[in-house]
Amino acid sequence: MLKGILPHNTALLGNFLFIGVYLLLSSAADASIFLVGQDIRWLRIISSALFCVILLPFLESAWRYLVSLYWEVRWDREWFGEQYNKATKKSQ
């Protein structure tokens, strides 16, 4: 069971760390523009670019989460269905 879970969780953790670091850098660029009080074009470009870059890992994480949720619910339904069938056969 761990063979299937560990790579999935490692990928999600990597995506979340990537997203967090890039959001922090984007916020730092925005804060620098705010503190200086004037528009610094290259900082604005960096802030926007870093914010746009996180969209791909975010969408990949969302897709990975939905697929894993689907398989987990499917596995639970199968397992509980088997248990229900065993219990009904024993009671008969």
Per-residue pLDDT of the chain (92 residues; tens, 9 = 90+): 556 666 777 888 888 899 999 999 999 999 999 999 888 999 999 999 998 999 988 898 888 888 878 877 887 788 888 877 887 888 77
pLDDT at 83: 79
Asked whether the whole model's pTM tops 0.85, one would answer: no
> What is the domain range of residue 75?
2-91
pLDDT at 5: 63
Please tell me the distance from the alpha carbon of residue 8 to that of residue 12, in angstroms, as a whole number: 6
Please tell me the distance from the alpha carbon of residue 22 to that of residue 37, in angstroms, as a whole number: 23
Using the structure block, give the residue that is written with the tokens 């916020």: 27
Structure tokens at 15: 């995506």
For the chain, how many structural domains are there in total?
1
